[in-house]
Amino acid sequence: MSAQPELSPQAPHDLSAHYRQHIAPALARMERQRRQAVKRIIVLGVLAVTALGAMLAGDLIAVMTGLDDFFIIAGAILVIFAALAGAAMIYKQIHAKFKQVLVGGICEAMGLKFSPGRFRFAFAPFRETGLVPGHDRRNLEDRIAGEHNGVRFELCEALLERRTERQDSDGNTKVEYRTVFRGLLMIYEFPKRFQGRTVVVPDATWLGNMIVGLGREGERVRLEDPRFERMFEVYSNDQVEARYLLTPTFMERLQRLAENTGEGPRSLAAAFIGSRLLLALRCGENRFEGGHIFKPFDQPERLEKLVEELGIIFEIIDTLDLDNRSRI
């Protein structure tokens, strides 16, 4: 077995002991299943390639001899599809098990609740406040909920896609889905009491802000910090409350967070609604997966990456100082 991983100093709890006692043995037990699954996937891959070869060969023979190659082609296609579907199923099954053991185990050790699929998440406010763009299809996965320094939170990964139709040269309509948002949706308990609705969205230049602003609820709030104003646009139905929430200190924290996480300063949007802080953070990669199955499950890098990914949850609470009861 591989050496025990060095945990990040930012890890909120000492996970080494938990990893050694519970997760590492479970991963070791799964290692045999992983090897078997990889073998099966390779066999199915070889089968698919062979079927593809057979199909091409059959087609060539048919061209040369003039024989009907329908059954060869149909059979080969069937085999290719069956092999690929089987491989995907095996991969998904073993990966889901592994993910539950590693990610679920680490979350449990941190006092967090992890649900990889089939969960309830308050998505509607993200759409209503315009934190995420309009879309036709969405996939939410990997919900993590818990508490850090007395601040309750809940988050999940989201992939949002918009449906587009286009016609090819033959006049056939083709439906395509284009990704419009990929990242984390987070809900944090906010230490201040408020009634209204304040939304902070990335600045979209003068013209963009004007167009986007037309469809937004509330009035534009102009704040004193020029750097913040260059990065964000703020809309609220209460000018005073917006300033109560976005104090100069909190504006600086939001800027720092936007600069240090996600995909650059324009990847963060926030909304204050119903005594909660909602954050939508664009990030390209799929998080909380633990990695693929073609390497040993107990590799230290997997745990290090996961701890780093989970660290963002706590980093946000710490950067925004959400546990600050002095309310500044």
Partner 1 sequence: MIWIAIVAGFMLVLAYLWYVALIRRRNRVQEALSSIDVQLRKRHDLLPNVLKMAERFMAHERELLARLTELRNQAQAPYDPRIGEQVRQHLDAEGSLQAGLRQLFAVAENYPELRSSETMSNAQLTFNEVEGHIAAARRFYNAAVTELNNAVQIFPGSLIAGFARVQTMPFFEIEDEAARQPVDVSDVLGQSTGVPQEGASPKQGS
Which residues here bind partner 1, judged by CB under 8 A? Answer: 192-193, 222, 224, 239-244, 247, 326-328
Whether the CB-CB separation of 87 and 44 falls below 8 Å is answered with: yes
Residue 63: Cβ within 10 Å count: 10
270-290 b/e with 16+ CB inside 10 Å = b?
bbbbeebbbbbbbbeeebbbb
Min dist CB 198 to partner 1, Å, is 11
- Residue with smaller CB distance to partner 1, 101 or 221: 221
Q: Which of 159, 158, 156, 136 lies closest to 146 in space, CA to CA? A: 156
In 3D, which of 70, 25, 76, 37 has the Cα closest to residue 55? Answer: 76
115 or 239: CB nearest partner 1: 239
What is the separation of C-alpha 174 from the centre of its chain, rounded to a whole number of angstroms?
A: 27
Is the Cβ of residue 157 or residue 241 nearer to partner 1 in the bound state? Answer: 241
Rounded-to-integer distance, Cα 253 and Cα 323, Å? 13
Residue 224 tokens, joined: 């004193």
Strand partners, 221: 234
Minimum CB–partner distance for residue 187 and partner 1 (Å): 23
Nearest approach, Cβ of residue 230 and partner 1 (Å): 17
Nearest approach in angstroms of CB 241 to partner 1 is: 7
Q: How far is the CB of 228 from partner 1 (least distance, A)?
A: 13
Q: Give the nearer residue to partner 1 in terms of CB position, either 114 or 272.
A: 272
If the CB atoms of residues 75 and 191 are measured against partner 1, the closer one turns out to be: 191
Shortest Å, Cβ 214 to partner 1? 19
Q: Which is nearer to partner 1, 182 or 243 (by Cβ)?
A: 243
